[in-house]
Structure 1
Amino acid sequence: MKKISLIVPCYNEEESVNLFYDTVTPVINAMSPTEKIEPEYIFVNDGSSDHTLDILRNLQAEHPDTVHYVSFSRNFGKEAGLAAGLEASTGDYVAVMDVDLQDPPELLPKMLNLIESENYDCVGTVQHDRAGQGWFRAWASSSFYSVINKISDVHIEPNARDYRLMTRQMVNAVLSVGEYNRFSKGIFSWVGFKTTYLTYESQPRAAGTTHWSLKQLLQYSLTGIMDFSDLPLRISTWIGGITFGFSLLGILFVIIRKLTVGGSVAGWASLVTIILFIGGLQLMCLGVLGEYLGKVYLESKHRPLYIVKEEK
């Protein structure tokens, strides 16, 4: 008998938890007619302010052998939830899923078959489209993947979801990456292993509303870029070098003009404009440097990624 651990992060998802369990359980039970699959549900309550924890307690009491939960002391973010779920999992295979059923559980049997029959270590998923997200979010997401794959040594599949099924060996490799600032999609690619992707049409949420604002998505994108590329730092260096070169040319121009024409250079307004331009570039480069320095500062503190208040 093999065990599949289902990692399900939850944040204010009181309407979705029972619906998720009732929908996924029949799929798990029917996955292998010749060899029974033992499920392990690990719900991670990421500091929800609604009744999500109460529902998880009741669900665990009804199914004590298969349902478990980890509840944080506050909201630590989805990345912390994923890490906590992976650490708590004990299955031979581990799946990461969203509780809102935007990740179709019907793909699980095919994912398991690909791993067992074709020796894949991971089967991920890719949305065929982004219907319902709005044109700006769709464009921003497409641009993010295009940028990060050009500036990073790690290839991240465009429009890839967190929804994936992994072997225990790959999960252990992911857990060995002890970063505080985590970007799981990049980590999944960085550890390597034989991976393939299944494509599916985007699904609406089964209940509730999304908790990801545009600002959070932009911050998450910046985290991904800074975690897997130092190109912004190198661009800052290039900008500084080019600006310095132009400054030297400007000094030469002023000296030659003074020797050949005489008098001071007219146009204080243009001079002030140039000074402000160069000052702006310097501040921008310092800002990029500060972002990386801030990441290093957080890593050096060695704070835990999350704090567990209750688990069962």
Structure 2
Amino acid sequence: MKKLSIVIPCYNEQETIELFIKEMETIEANMVLQFEYLFINDGSKDKTLNVLKNVATSKKNVKYLSFSRNFGKEAALIAGLRAATGDFITVMDVDLQDPPDLLPEMYQKLQEGYDIVGTRRSNRVGEPVIRSFFAKSFYKLVNSISDVKMVDGARDFRLMTRQVLDAILNLNEVNRFSKGLFSWVGFDTYYISYENRERSAGKTTWNFWSLFKYSLEGIINFSEAPLNIATFIGILSCILSVLAMIYFFLSNLISQNPVPGWPSLVCIILFLGGLQLFCLGIVGKYIGKIFLEVKKRPNYIIKEDNINEK
């Protein structure tokens, strides 16, 4: 029997783990696949690890990795993918916002010849209006400036073949943005749409600021457009400055009067200084990414696990 590895990142999810397992057992009973659960405890502050240990004692196909601290969802994802031993692999959120009842349909699509079956939300019902607006704006922006196209509303919840996973694992970069990486590797992909769902329990740890920073990671990791914008602004500022100098020189030559307007001059200097700092900030962000890559630090540190236990 072929095996399905289910990668589940967890951060302060003590209330949702058992609900997730119960829901998945129903799906497991109706699929001709052996299920392997890979929970990644991303430095949780609650009793998530204790719950995972209790579940693992009663279900031998439940495995867990526990980090030494919180390294972030991207680190949890790559850790779970590296530990997966299945013929097919899926990534799911433990809060049941990723509908487990879609798995049979997703598996059927793989049997039809697709390499990846992804999921996307058809709407954002229940999500704050501001967050929805910026999320849609992000996808429009990144798709307009990047060669890698990302589907609006796409979730990390996707089912893939072993070949796709091996391609993902060959990408050794430290700065990871999984949505972009799954698109970058290519392969035949099919998307299934579904209505947005609320969390089954607990409270999300994602807020507007964390999502904003995550979106910046996606833009910088998959586009050079910000660098091009900085270059364009620099060239335009130089041209305007030269034209302004010519204008003031001719004005002074014709009128024989010194050019007045020291306040406006100060404003121009401050404006150009701000543009320079803005462009330096963009360049610095890219240099920071290079700095993190060349240090070759691991994405995560595992404190304990039960991967090798029978």
Q: Which residue of 1 aligns with 2:265?
A: 271
Q: Which amino acid aligns with 2:114?
A: Y
Distance 1:59 1:287 in 2: 47
Deviation at 1:258, TM superposition (A): 2.6
Per-residue Cα deviation, 1:15-36 (whole angstroms, up to 9, x for no partner): 11111011101202202xxxx3
1:42 aligned onto 2:43: no
Distance 1:60 1:254 in 2: 78
Instruction: Give the match's secondary structure for 2:120.
Output: strand
1:140-289 to 2 correspondence within 5 Å? 140-289=134-283
Deviation at 1:254, TM superposition (A): 2.0
Q: Which amino acid aligns with 1:260?
A: I
Q: Which amino acid aligns with 2:56?
A: Q
Distance 1:37 1:29 in 2: 9
Distance 1:234 1:94 in 2: 38
Q: Which amino acid aligns with 2:75?
A: A
Instruction: Give the match's secondary structure for 2:44.
Output: coil
Q: Which residue of 2 aligns with 1:53?
A: 49
Which shows bigger deviation, 278-287 or 222-231? 278-287
Q: Which residue of 2 aligns with 1:29?
A: 29
Distance 1:225 1:29 in 2: 41
Aligned residues: percent identity? 51
Q: Which amino acid aligns with 1:10?
A: C
Q: Which amino acid aligns with 2:110?
A: I
Is contact 1:6–1:94 with CA below 8 Å preserved after alignment? yes
Deviation at 1:295, TM superposition (A): 0.9
1:78 aligned onto 2:73: yes
Distance 2:26 2:263 in 1: 74
Taking only aligned residues, the RMSD between alpha carbons, in angstroms, comes to: 0.7
Distance 2:15 2:128 in 1: 24
In structure 1, the gaps of 5 or more residues are: none
Instruction: Give the match's secondary structure for 1:110.
Output: helix
Is contact 1:29–1:37 with CA below 8 Å preserved after alignment? no
Instruction: Give the match's secondary structure for 2:66.
Output: strand
Distance 2:228 2:20 in 1: 46
> Under a length normalisation based on structure 1, what TM-score does the superposition of the two structures give?
0.97
Deviation at 1:134, TM superposition (A): 1.0
Deviation at 1:121, TM superposition (A): 0.5
Q: Which residue of 2 aligns with 1:100?
A: 95
Q: Which residue of 2 aligns with 1:307?
A: 301
Instruction: Give the match's secondary structure for 2:141.
Output: helix
1:297 aligned onto 2:291: yes
Instruction: Give the match's secondary structure for 1:41.
Output: strand
Q: Which residue of 1 aligns with 2:20?
A: 20
Q: Which amino acid aligns with 2:188?
A: K
Per-residue Cα deviation, 1:79-99 (whole angstroms, up to 9, x for no partner): 000000000000000010000
Instruction: Give the match's secondary structure for 2:193.
Output: strand
Q: Which amino acid aligns with 2:45?
A: S
Deviation at 1:234, TM superposition (A): 0.4
Deviation at 1:257, TM superposition (A): 2.0
Between the two proteins, the alignment pairs up a number of residues equal to: 306
Per-residue Cα deviation, 1:207-253 (whole angstroms, up to 9, x for no partner): 10100011100000000000000100000000000110000101111
